[in-house]
Amino acid sequence: MDGTAIKEPSFRESVDLMFNRAAALMDLPPGLEDKIRVCNSTYTVRFGVKLRGKIQTFTGYRSVHSEHTEPVKGGIRYALNVNQDEVEALAALMTYKCALVEAPFGGSKGGLCIDPREYDEDELERITRRFAYELAKRDLIDPAQNVPAPDMGTGEREMAWIADQYARMNTSDINARACVTGKPPHAGGIQGRVEATGRGVQYALREFFRHPEDIAAAGLTGTLEGKRVVVQGLGNVGYHAAKFLSGEDGAKITAIIERDGALHSEDGLDVEAVYSWIQRHGGVQGYADATYIENGPSLLEADCDILIPAALEGVINLTNAQRIKAPLIIEAANGPITAGADDILRQKGTVIIPDMYANAGGVTVSYFEWVKNLSHIRFGRMQRRQEEARHMLIVKELERLSDKLGDAWSLTSTFKEQYLRGADELELVRSGLDDTMRGAYQAMRAVWHGRDDVTDLRTAAYIVAVERVAASYRAKGL
Ligand code: NAD
């Protein structure tokens, strides 16, 4: 099929089409549907930074989709093709995502048109600080109004620069650290944020595989053990998802698709080895223990059980949707399936775990980080030793009884060790994330299975999210 002849909606139009499909099944008051769908504002900034002897001009965006709850929240992306349409689509997804996982934020998103690989660390710091300055002076970075986070092309390092820039501009703001999330732990971050989105993908799949009816809907059987998984994009999200699914749940990563091609092995790829190869060589080409395929995207169509697009939007579209074989797709990236491809896949019976749920682990743990920054204390600091002391009371009592009953009744040392240890911050974060991912999935599936007019998880997710946003507007009297 010739892809150039096909008219595909833009990313933002795709998000709107999916929203409309759900809104048509809801009973919203007149006008509220439009109010929720539209993006409230998008700020475009162009600024110059003197680099390598000349001034270079950069273009950035910060879009606020909905302020039904503040602050608004959403990542900052560094990529050459960042544009207003994309940033607005991503901001809208943030509104629905936060509502679905009950994080008390409106939706926002930012982006800077830049290829970060073309600049050294010092240059990137100057560019990031200048961008942060432009946004902060307009309250588009602010702990109470607008809180960015990492996205494609940015990570802990950029978030630390942004936090420091904001603190320099607001020297008496005691909550300055809460102006951005995804910071390194030594700069006000939280344990488990870097892995959070990939960890959330794992928890989402674990929850999916707890429901036999849902597994059957995808034409699958059994558990995650031995499932053949194809991953596109071995960056922050894709790497962690692939690492946890293969290392902890026994799934087999049979293909990894990157910018410069793909690796394939039916025996399963060593995720850590491929990741470290990419770090050293900038791509997958040349990796020895797998078959290299130059046409990377062709592996999206490979025979597998689970497909995880974890790179960028629009990769499953009208040109390839019909040929996608995976019975289950989990959208780790934002918007990897266009609205047209979504129609085709639904007709084929493919089960799609939608982006607004699948990659919500990042914003969930960002929420925990923001709360930690506002409370100025690490999670578990007050309770941990007290919890251990109370557990010790029970263990001592059980030991006293088992002394009387004989050796066969004594406690094992592993039980004692595990039971006595109070939870640290990482364990608490994982517990909160797991609880959130389970709860949000159950809310979606209740709509998916509970209504005859809803046949897919994406529509169900929109209905749950939009209903919550609408309830918040109703409470304000709108
Ligand atoms: P990242 O920059 O860390 O990784 C992206 C990876 O995709 C890189 O390895 C890159 O080489 C690869 N890639 C880029 N273009 C590609 C192409 N054409 N084909 C194959 N691979 C390609 O980004 P990330 O933070 O992992 O984000 C990935 C996706 O997840 C994005 O859609 C982002 O919006 C979404 N997301 C990220 C987070 C987060 O916490 N980082 C949270 C929610 C959603």
Half-sphere exposure of 400 (CA within 13 A, CB side): 6
Report the percentage of the chain scoring pLDDT > 70.
99
Residue 374 has pLDDT above 70, yes or no: yes
Q: Which residue intervals of 339-383 are DSSP H helices? A: 339-348, 355-358, 361-375
**Predicted structure pTM score:** 0.95
C-alpha distances in Å from residue 188, one per residue of 84, 173, 236, 366:
31, 15, 20, 12
d(CA 319, CA 475): 44
For the domain spanning 39-187, the CATH number is 3.40.50.10860
d(CA 219, CA 329): 12
State the average pLDDT over residues 429-447: 98
Element (H, E) at 436: helix 425-450
Q: What is the dihedral of CA 243, 314, 105, 126, to 10 degrees?
A: 80
Residue 150: strand pairing partners: 76
Ligand 1 nearest atom to the CA of residue 332, by list position: 30
Contact 43, 61 (CB under 8 A): yes
| Maximum pairwise Cα distance, the chain | 83
- Please report where in the chains the tokens 């006293």 appear, as a residue: 400
Give ligand 1 pocket residues (Cβ under 6 A): 150-153, 197, 232-238, 257-259, 296, 310-312, 332-334, 359, 362
* Residue 395: Cβ within 10 Å count: 15
For the domain spanning 196-361, the CATH number is 3.40.50.720
Distance 312 CA to ligand 1 centre (A): 6
Side chain identity, residue 111: G
> What does the pLDDT read at residue 6?
67
> What average pLDDT is seen over the chain?
96
> What does the pLDDT read at residue 5?
57
Burial track 147-182 (b if 16+ CB lie within 10 A, e otherwise): bbbbbbbbbbbbbbbbbbbbeeebeeeeebbbbbbb
Contact 288, 274 (CB under 8 A): no
Residue 451 has pLDDT above 90, yes or no: yes
d(CA 20, CA 24): 6
What pLDDT digit, counting tens, does each position of 213-256 carry? 999 999 999 999 999 999 999 999 999 999 999 999 999 999 99
Ligand 1 nearest atom to the CA of residue 335, by list position: 32
Mutate to test the pocket of ligand 1, among 73, 151, 234 (most ligand atoms within 8 A of CB): 151
What pLDDT digit, counting tens, does each position of 141-189 carry? 999 999 999 999 999 999 999 999 999 999 999 999 999 999 999 999 9
What is the tally of helices (H) and strands (E) in the chain?
A: 16, 12
The one catalytic residue in 109, 227, 243, 252 is 109
The model's confidence at residue 380, banded by pLDDT at 50, 70 and 90, is very high
Of the candidates 252, 260, 235, the one whose C-alpha atom is nearest the C-alpha of residue 305 is 252
The token duo for 428 is: 């608490």
Spatial CB neighbours of 154, under 8 Å, sequence gap ≥ 6: 75, 76, 77, 78, 116
d(CA 91, CA 478): 22
Distance 370 CA to ligand 1 centre (A): 23
Ligand 1 nearest atom to the CA of residue 153, by list position: 2
Task: Describe the strand order of the beta sheet including 252-258 as a list of residue ranges.
Answer: 291-293, 261-264, 252-258, 228-232, 306-309, 328-330, 351-353
Tell me, yes or no, if 476 is annotated catalytic.
no
Distance 301 CA to ligand 1 centre (A): 19
